[in-house]
Amino acid sequence: MKVGDIKKGLEPLLDDAFESEELLSKNRNSQFYRRVYIRSLFAYVEGSIWVMKQVCLKAKSIDGIQRKINISEYSILTEESYELKGNGDIKTGSKAINILDNIKFTFKTINKLFNGNLDFGVGSTNWEKLIIAKNVRNRITHPKNEKDMIISDDEILICEEVCSWFNILIHDCFNLFIESGNRIKKQ
């Protein structure tokens, strides 16, 4: 898999996140732009995790052979579930994965497959902010009352900090992928 392939998967997500960030910067007090920003931030996060999983599935090892993953890892990387129909055929379904667990699994898998040491910050201040931001996102996408749609100044700042932290994490992933590719070329 080439860096350009990864970039293509991320580009629309980054464009949306960037545009919503620009709109928010010009309209800091707009609840609408705050909600748009948070929705596009989480589309970017979840979409990026999906793209990173595709890298894990497609990346070759130093000997040019597909990297080894077990069946359960494959199922989580593809976000698929399997069961048998009454006629004996296999039914493939979609697997919904909690975003926090998905991030942990994806970066652990990246570290394993690419001999990395990415610190995705579980238990850190950044991780705690991610949890807060996720809860805000859940609240505004599944509101139970009018107050659920209101995003405080502190909440939007936390979401912006989460975006910065996640950008660094994705940047570190790219560097790891490039280093791994360079090691393969040298072999």
Residue 109: which pLDDT band, with cuts at 50, 70 and 90? very high
In the chain, where the domains are located? 3-66+98-186
Q: How far apart are CA 10 and CA 111, in angstroms?
A: 20
**pLDDT bucket at 147, cuts 50 / 70 / 90:** very high
| pLDDT of res. 66 | 64
| Residue 118 φ/ψ, nearest 5 degrees | -65, 130
Average pLDDT over residues 60-85: 82
pLDDT in the model for residue 96: 86
Which element (helix H / strand E) includes 38? helix 31-58
DSSP state letter for 86: T
* pLDDT over 90, % of the chain: 71
pLDDT of residue 38: 98
Contact present, 169 and 122 (Cβ < 8 Å): no
**Amino acid at position 131, single letter:** I
Per-residue pLDDT of 116-142, as tens digits, reads: 999 988 999 999 999 999 999 999 999
- Cα distance between residue 34 and residue 160, in whole Å: 10
Q: Are 106 and 169 in contact (CB under 8 A)?
A: no
Q: Which of 21-25, 72-76, 152-156 has the lowest mean pLDDT?
A: 72-76
Q: Tokens in use for 112?
A: 């394993």
How far is residue 81 from each of residues 38, 46, 50, 96, measured CA to CA in Å? Answer: 29, 19, 16, 9
Beta bridge partners of 187: none
Average pLDDT over residues 76-98: 92
Q: Is residue 92 within 8 Å of 80, Cβ to Cβ?
A: yes
CA distance linking residue 95 with residue 138, whole number of Å: 19
CA distance from start to end of the chain: 17
Check pLDDT > 80 for residue 63: no
Minimum mean pLDDT range among 46-50, 58-62, 119-123, 166-170: 58-62
Residue 9, pLDDT score: 80
